Structure 1
């Protein structure tokens, strides 16, 4: 056992994650960069999460288990940051995975970019069973501005982030009262300081398992979370919200419409989101027009097919 302080702290918030954790922990242990500590924050799990972690602890002293009453993912991540020792903090959700050179590539990225606060990469999308879908994230990687983060999440998931510790000292942790868009709200706070860059690596380093949540209510809660983000942004970036709210809301609603279609939700859900998107800002027709037109065709075509089938 070494006394060298870890350069990287990996934080996994875990709630009833026993069946996913082995693959997730293994992906950390297989990293080509080895000077890390792993903090697994058990957020009041009622399954075998604790037992699974303890088996790994017996073999690897770099793994720590920290228990808290169920308080949600934001509080779990904040506790992990509070207990961390590393100069860099990396988040990984309990059902996601990293490719072996994930940490090595991000540390190189920081080495050559002294003003980089948050490093991320491209993401491979897995289905709920953990199988590749063939999809890779296509979000912008460079020259991110506050208005981009008001409307979209180029990082896809917190499992994709590696962050300088100083950033948390300056902007604080995740908003504990948010369950949706809390990651995007934190990134927006960071970029609005003007002190740190958020930039991606043009390489797949994270594997993200999509949620099985296929209920309309889930998407409407996502919309509520984004509205919470806007209310918080009005405090520290009022001009940003005033200048970009309409188009940002339209882009977010279009995203929810696309998601409703992919989840095979009732057609009226996608139509509702898309109709309100265009009502928010008609310029959506000229912002990524290919994506907008395809979404319109998908959700209204879906509605038409439903009506035909019920005639």
Structure 2
């Protein structure tokens, strides 16, 4: 087995509620060549005590404790302190499977990947799974819309992250900004293992829940910057409008839905090799569009044939087809 040292980077801030489960999941890794750089970012609860107990039990835990500096500074500090050839991210409320590192190391070696995430299962306030795109090409395309990598699931080459620190001007979307930066400026290979290797906890106290407005503003700026270089040259002048309408939480009117339909049609014509990666995105665009009706059915059918949604979205596709058949207005009256 590959014996390269892996450095977990674990930022902690008032994390006592779930931290012990995270620490236990790190200790239980079948791949044993790891260290954990755990940074107590000025916590006021018993977070530091839990970390110190873990270090006393297992010397592979390396603890840093200081005043609060925020997540981005903490991540960059942890990466700078890491001694490993690889960096493994995890948050203080998540749980990784015992074979996570073993499988990610093997996958990176096999695929020549520089950044490798995995599918995740949700725990806490949400259930189900997040099946992220697998290949480098699919991930780079998906970055045009949102982050296609579960941040706390990643394993990345240490040298790559040391050379590309998390951007200080991207609060609450620092991972999305970093992946876009790396994708736009390097030949680093992305991958996601099509298997759940991390249990991702959702709860009201998360930054992504409490800071939604700031996150959306940052993500839209990052999306536009990336689109200006990642889109085919013919579509790059549309980057600003695309970035605005591609925001996953934005509700589109009928004219905006038509604009996005035309955009998808142009994109697939210029990059036909991406047909398998765009299915979920045009379908999600339809879901958040209002005022659609039966006259939009031929347009949606064309998109479905050009860019088939993944099997997991077949139920959604059926519902949206029914919605078009009866018009959006009637659908919303009848929908419970």
CA contact (8 A) 1:278 1:284 kept: no
Aligned equivalent of 1:93: 91
How far apart are residue 71 of structure 1 and its match?
Answer: 1.6
The structure 2 residue matched to 1:105, chosen from 94, 103, 106, is: 103
Report the aligned-residue RMSD: 3.5
Note if 1:122 corresponds to 2:119.
Answer: yes
Q: Distance in 2 between matches of 1:101 and 1:277?
A: 45
Residues 106-128 of structure 1 show CA distances to partners (whole Å, capped at 9, x for unaligned) of: 110122233x2101111111224
Residues 7-62 of structure 1 show CA distances to partners (whole Å, capped at 9, x for unaligned) of: 00001111110111100010111111111001111111111111111111111111
Structure 1 regions of 5+ residues with no counterpart? 258-270, 306-311
TM-score, normalising length: structure 2: 0.71
Note if 1:207 corresponds to 2:199.
Answer: yes
CA contact (8 A) 2:257 2:289 kept: no
Change in CA separation of 1:248 and 1:27 when aligned onto 2, cut-off 3 Å: same
Secondary structure class of the residue paired with 2:165:
coil
CA contact (8 A) 1:285 1:292 kept: no
Change in CA separation of 1:196 and 1:234 when aligned onto 2, cut-off 3 Å: same
Residues 132-164 of structure 1 show CA distances to partners (whole Å, capped at 9, x for unaligned) of: 71x111221113364421322111x31110001
Residues 276-307 of structure 1 show CA distances to partners (whole Å, capped at 9, x for unaligned) of: 96497454787644433334479x88xx67xx
**Relative to structure 2, which stretch is displaced further, 5-14 or 158-167?**
5-14
Q: Distance in 2 between matches of 1:277 and 1:45?
A: 45
Q: Distance in 1 between matches of 2:66 and 2:19?
A: 18
Secondary structure class of the residue paired with 2:114:
strand
How many residue pairs are counted as aligned between the two chains? Answer: 279
Note if 1:31 corresponds to 2:29.
Answer: yes
The equivalences for 1:154-173 within 5 A come to 154-155=148-149, 157-170=150-163, 172-173=164-165
Secondary structure class of the residue paired with 2:9:
strand
Note if 1:52 corresponds to 2:50.
Answer: yes
Change in CA separation of 1:165 and 1:44 when aligned onto 2, cut-off 3 Å: same
Aligned equivalent of 2:190: 198
Q: Distance in 2 between matches of 1:159 and 1:60?
A: 22
Q: Distance in 1 between matches of 2:213 and 2:183?
A: 27
Aligned equivalent of 1:249: 244
Change in CA separation of 1:105 and 1:179 when aligned onto 2, cut-off 3 Å: same
**Relative to structure 2, which stretch is displaced further, 281-290 or 6-15?**
281-290
Secondary structure class of the residue paired with 1:151:
coil
CA contact (8 A) 2:229 2:236 kept: no
CA contact (8 A) 2:19 2:92 kept: yes
Aligned equivalent of 1:148: 142
TM-score, normalising length: structure 1: 0.77
Secondary structure class of the residue paired with 1:55:
helix
CA contact (8 A) 1:74 1:174 kept: yes
Structure 2 regions of 5+ residues with no counterpart? 266-277, 291-319, 321-327
How far apart are residue 6 of structure 1 and its match?
Answer: 6.7
Q: Distance in 1 between matches of 2:54 and 2:136?
A: 40
